[in-house]
Structure formats: structure tokens, C-alpha cells
Amino acid sequence: MQVYSGIYKEGNLIITKSIYFEGIGLPVLDGQKKYEVLSVKANSVTICGFKIIRSGYATLNDPCGIKVYDSHHVNVINNTLYDNFFGIYLQYSKFCIIQNNSVTGLGVEEQQIGNGIHCWKSDSLQITANHVSGHRDGIYFEFVTNSVIWRNISEKNIRYGLHFMFSNSDSYISNVFKSNGAGVAVMFTHKVKMFNNTFSENWGDAAYGLMLKEITDSYILGNHFTKNTTGIYMEGTNRLLVEKNSFDANGWGMKIQASCMDNVITQNNFTGNTFDISTNGTLVLNTFNSNYWDKYEGYDLNRNKVGDVPYHPLSIFSVLVEKNPPAMLLFRSFMVDLLDKSEKFMPSLTPDNFIDQSPLMHSLQL
């Protein structure tokens, strides 16, 4: 079924049959701020080439630009969604592809706008090459399994660029999360793979490039964390491998709470961060090795490109600030420098096993 360009104010369109629903010349479907624009209630539907605007606004039934109900093999491709409450919403759906859509919200406050791409209790989804901005959460995953989020750009959303909960065995790869209110949150999940994403310019008191909470058996590889208040914040994470990531120009490279254990942090670059690592506890159950730290002042006599003295990435001042945030006022004062230097020689307050035994002399090409 093909629709030619024009403005269509049809109220709520419900698709109940398997059709190929194509817009030619970007026809506009206008929800007039009253209706859910497109509802998909059939399997094997493809929607492409539409501009879907102005869905209704309600907090009870979450009206959307496009909503997929209990269906499988639904493809949403090459659409533009603008000024909707929720953008694309999938529930109880399987084998769906959301690709190459532009989803723009005009949210100002968290309560008055829904998510860009919202997936709930679904399985085997592909979210690819979409651009989401101005919504509450750019991409929202809850109880979604075996899915992939690939090459999306999620920026300037009010809360999270990606909000990810109870969604096991998913991967997200090569996405860009930038300037979101609180960065990216990945919570209560195991077996998640995060490869080659960029997390940048997420600034604020509670903003994290990537916040990990109760995550187990996951793999973080090749990501770039740039100019965030905190690159990665970890709480209650177990058996994570953090490898070959770059942490550059963040306030805190990583904040690892004492509730984390058996995580391995290896072969990452820590450059230009105000603090590389911070923690709130004294017990260290995580392993750091073979990272590059630009603050490392050791030497390499045997020229094997590995520093001959171990590196303590935790500065005493970061511990103080963790306990008492306003102490940040004294950062880089002479007294604090003295404190840090003396602590480096004789660790007394920082855990002495918080250590990289084999710091690299040169940064890795990442």
C-alpha cells in the first residue's frame, strides 16, 4: 500500500493485516495532538517513508508515533518522527527491525515527554542507524532480550541517551550517546556487550557517560568516553571485562563503588581526566592491569614498554572528594598536591592494593 505526499489527519490508523505500507514523497501523518498516529497489530508489517507528527499526549496509555502491539517481523524503516509523545514503541514483539528513522521530540521536562524508541518485553530486535533526540530517554529497553542496538545516535535527550534494564544477552555497538541529561544507564542485566560506542559530553551532578548498576558477566570493549563528568560509574557489577576503551578529558574516568567485584580493567587509555579512578570503599576486589595512565610518572629501564614501578591510580584527594564533594574547591591547591604526593610515597588512606602492576609507557592506539 502506497501513500503519496500530503498531510493526512486520519486520527488513529490501525494496521491489522500484513502489509507493506510505504510513503512516497514523505507524506505527513498528523496526530493533531489527540491520537496515537499508527498502531500495528499484525505480523509482518513494514512501515517506511512517512513523516509522523504530533501524537496525542497522555500519561496513562502512552500515545505514540508508531506503536507495535504483540507482533513479530515488523519493520519500521526510513521514517521521520517529530513532536510525538513517544516515538516508536514496541511491546511483546519479536524479530522487529527499527532502522534509519529520525526521532525528534520537543521535550523540556522529564514528565511531559515519552521515550524516543521504547521497547518493552520483546525479543530479537534490531535497532539500527536511528537518530533520536529531545525525548525523555533516547532508546529505552526493558525486558528485551537477544537484541542489537547498532550505529544509532542518541543525543540531547532529557534523561538518558540509552536506558537499559532487565535486558539480558543484548549488544549495543557503535552508537553515539552525546549530551544527554544523565548519559547512559544500564541496569539489572547480565551478558550485555557494549562495543565501540562513544559516550560524550554528559555533564551534571548525576550524569554519567555510562552508569552500570547490577550488571554481571558483560563485556565493555573499544568504547570512547570523552568529556563526561564521570566516564563509567559502576555499582554492584560483577565479572565485567573493561578492555581497550579510551577515557579522555572526563572529570572522573571511572567511579567504582565498593560493591563491585571481580571486574577486570585492562588495556585502557586514561588521558586528560581530572581523576582517573575514584572509589568509596577501602576494599578492592577488582583487577587493574596494563592500562595507560597519563599521570604515571614511572620509568621503563628494561624498555619493554611496561613501567617498572606499579601505578596507584587512586589519588587521596579523589577519596576525600568522594566523602565530601565541596572539597572540590581545593582541587589543585598546593596543599592538596602535597597531600597527593605524600600519599603516593606512603599510602595510608587509599587502599594499597588499588594498583596497576604493569602500567603501559605509551598510550594504545584505540
Partner 1 sequence: MNRIIKFIVLDILRNKIVLIYTLLLAVLSWAVFSLEDNSTKGLLTLLNVILLTVPLVSIIFSTIYLYNSSEFIELLLSQPIQRSRIWWSLFFGLSISLIFSFIIGAGIPILLYAPGDVGLMMLMVGISITAVFVSLAFLGSVLTRDKAKGIGMAILLWLFFALMFDGLVLFLLFQLADYPIEKMMVGITALNPIDLGRILILLHLDVSAMMGYTGAIFKDFFGTFLGIIIAFIVLFLWIALPFWVSLRKFKRKDL
Task: Note whether 132 and 124 are within 8 A (CB).
Answer: no
Residue 254 as a binder of partner 1 (CB under 8 A): the answer is no
- Name the phi and psi angles at 161, rounded to 5: -70, -45
- Applying CB under 8 A, among 1, 60, 301, 329 the residue interacting with partner 1 is 329
Residue 257 as a binder of partner 1 (CB under 8 A): the answer is no
3-state secondary structure of 163: strand
- Applying CB under 8 A, among 55, 229, 245, 286 the residue interacting with partner 1 is 229
Residue 348 as a binder of partner 1 (CB under 8 A): the answer is no
Residue 347 as a binder of partner 1 (CB under 8 A): the answer is no
Nearer to partner 1, 60 or 335 (CB): 335
Task: Note whether 240 and 219 are within 8 A (CB).
Answer: yes
Residue 342 as a binder of partner 1 (CB under 8 A): the answer is no
Label residue 325 left, alpha or beta by phi (over 0 means left) and psi (-120 to 50 means alpha). Answer: alpha
On the CB side of 31, CA atoms within 13 Å amount to 30
- 286-315 footprint of partner 1 as x/- string (CB under 8 A): --------x---------------------
Tell the smallest beta-carbon distance from residue 236 to partner 1 (Å).
21
What is the rounded distance in angstroms from the CA atom of residue 175 to the CA atom of residue 178? 10
- Applying CB under 8 A, among 60, 301, 335, 346 the residue interacting with partner 1 is 335
Strand pairing report for 153-155 and 38-40 = unpaired
Residue 282 as a binder of partner 1 (CB under 8 A): the answer is no
- Name the phi and psi angles at 59, rounded to 5: -95, -10
Total chain residues near partner 1 (CB under 8 A): 35
**4 burial level (CB within 10 Å; 0-12, 13-18, 19+):** exposed
CA angle 134-138-140, nearest 5°? 145
List the interface residues with partner 1, window 189-218 (CB under 8 A): 203-205, 207
Residue 262 as a binder of partner 1 (CB under 8 A): the answer is no
Label residue 336 left, alpha or beta by phi (over 0 means left) and psi (-120 to 50 means alpha). Answer: alpha
Nearer to partner 1, 24 or 338 (CB): 338
- Applying CB under 8 A, among 336, 361, 364, 366 the residue interacting with partner 1 is 336
List the interface residues with partner 1, window 158-177 (CB under 8 A): none
Tell the smallest beta-carbon distance from residue 363 to partner 1 (Å).
10
The cell for 40 is 500495528
The one-letter amino acid code at 157 reads N
Secondary structure letter of residue 356 according to DSSP: B
Tell the smallest beta-carbon distance from residue 181 to partner 1 (Å).
12
The span of 68-76, 214-222, 319-327, 346-354 binding partner 1 (CB under 8 A) equals 319-327
Tell the smallest beta-carbon distance from residue 250 to partner 1 (Å).
5
| Residue 271: closest CA among 177, 364, 174 | 364
Tell the smallest beta-carbon distance from residue 294 to partner 1 (Å).
8
Tell the smallest beta-carbon distance from residue 335 to partner 1 (Å).
4
Q: What is the CA radius of gyration of the chain?
A: 23
| Residue 200: closest CA among 191, 210, 212 | 210
Nearer to partner 1, 334 or 345 (CB): 334
Tell the smallest beta-carbon distance from residue 272 to partner 1 (Å).
6
The one-letter amino acid code at 80 reads T
Residue 325 as a binder of partner 1 (CB under 8 A): the answer is yes
Residues that bind partner 1 (CB under 8 A): 203-205, 207, 227-230, 249-252, 272-275, 294, 320-321, 323-338
